[in-house]
Amino acid sequence: MGTSLLIPPLKYRQIARKLDLELEENDIPEITVNDLFYRAVPGAFLRSLLDNGPSFQNEKARFNIPRSFSALYFSDSQKTVLEEIKPIDSTGGRAVTPLVITAFQIKTQNIRDLTSQKAVEKLGFTLKDLRQSFTNDAEHLLPRSLALYCKKRLQASGILVQSAVCKGKNLVLFPDSLFLQSVISIKAISRASLIEN
């Protein structure tokens, strides 16, 4: 697994510091996770299933700071994970991609829950604000700064967030922040294809 080698850009650190001034530590609920989650990768990447390289470099991911902030994304169901990774081709149709879907039993502490409206109201935004379709770096500023705040200031193992594309939830883990007693074990592996519309 990769690590956060670079200092996050100043703009993210500035907002994270502002959050630190405005929030109490318990304003974002802390939860313990012990449940099944799913991750899908192309078959060729099965050997690197828990490598945060692809997520780490993904400039479109809501809670990643590219090249400086590592994260692993999991979903609460197979349906959610398929919705999350559906590639859109240039014509707007769904591309057919062979995938390996793996179920993981994940047990870890100090996950910060960003799925509660009450938790985000104090920050002056809504859950809908975190679920919008982000198309540029400026729009990523809030979610990425929140992730940085949870990781660096609250020493969180990860965050639980609403999916931006469906009603499911995503667990975003920070591999270099996981507690020593955290357990991630593979429960099942299955193959699937994304079907064209």
Kindly report, residue by residue over 71-111, the tens digit of the pLDDT: 888 999 999 988 887 754 444 444 556 778 889 999 999 99
Q: Copy the structure tokens of residue 102.
A: 């793996």
In the chain, the largest separation of any two C-alpha atoms, in whole Å, equals 48
**What is the predicted pLDDT for the residue at 75?**
94
Answer yes or no: is 3 within a domain.
Answer: no
Q: Report the percentage of the chain scoring pLDDT > 90.
A: 19
Answer yes or no: is 1 within a domain.
Answer: no
Answer yes or no: is 5 within a domain.
Answer: no
Answer yes or no: is 157 within a domain.
Answer: yes
Task: Bin 16: left if φ > 0, else alpha if -120 < ψ < 50, else beta.
Answer: alpha
Evaluate if residue 46 carries a pLDDT over 60. yes
CA–CA separation, 54 and 72 (whole Å): 9
**What is the predicted pLDDT for the residue at 32?**
94
Which tops the pLDDT comparison, 24 or 8?
24
DSSP string across 14-30: HHHHHHHHH--GGGS-E
Q: Identify whether the C-beta of residue 154 lies closer than 8 Å to the C-beta of residue 28.
A: yes
Q: Identify whether the C-beta of residue 42 lies closer than 8 Å to the C-beta of residue 97.
A: yes
For the whole model, what pTM was predicted? 0.79
Most confident of the ranges 5-19, 28-42, 78-92, 129-143: 28-42
Which residue in this structure is represented by tokens 């510091």? 17
**What is the predicted pLDDT for the residue at 3?**
40
Which tops the pLDDT comparison, 177 or 79?
79
Answer yes or no: is 4 within a domain.
Answer: no
Evaluate if residue 35 carries a pLDDT over 80. yes
| Residue-range definition of the domain harbouring residue 56 | 10-193
Evaluate if residue 56 carries a pLDDT over 60. no
Q: Identify whether the C-beta of residue 71 lies closer than 8 Å to the C-beta of residue 173.
A: yes
Residue-wise pLDDT tens digits, 106-136: 999 999 999 877 777 776 777 777 776 555 5
**What is the predicted pLDDT for the residue at 152?**
83
Answer yes or no: is 2 within a domain.
Answer: no
**What is the predicted pLDDT for the residue at 197?**
35
Answer yes or no: is 66 within a domain.
Answer: yes
Domain count within the chain: 1
CA–CA separation, 44 and 148 (whole Å): 31
Task: Bin 110: left if φ > 0, else alpha if -120 < ψ < 50, else beta.
Answer: left
Q: Which long-range contacts (CB under 8 A, 24 or more apart) does 86-94 make?
A: 86/165, 86/194, 87/194, 93/196, 93/197, 94/194, 94/195, 94/196, 94/197
Would strands 98-113 and 72-75 be described as parallel, antiparallel, or unpaired? unpaired
Answer yes or no: is 80 within a domain.
Answer: yes
Q: Report the percentage of the chain scoring pLDDT > 70.
A: 70
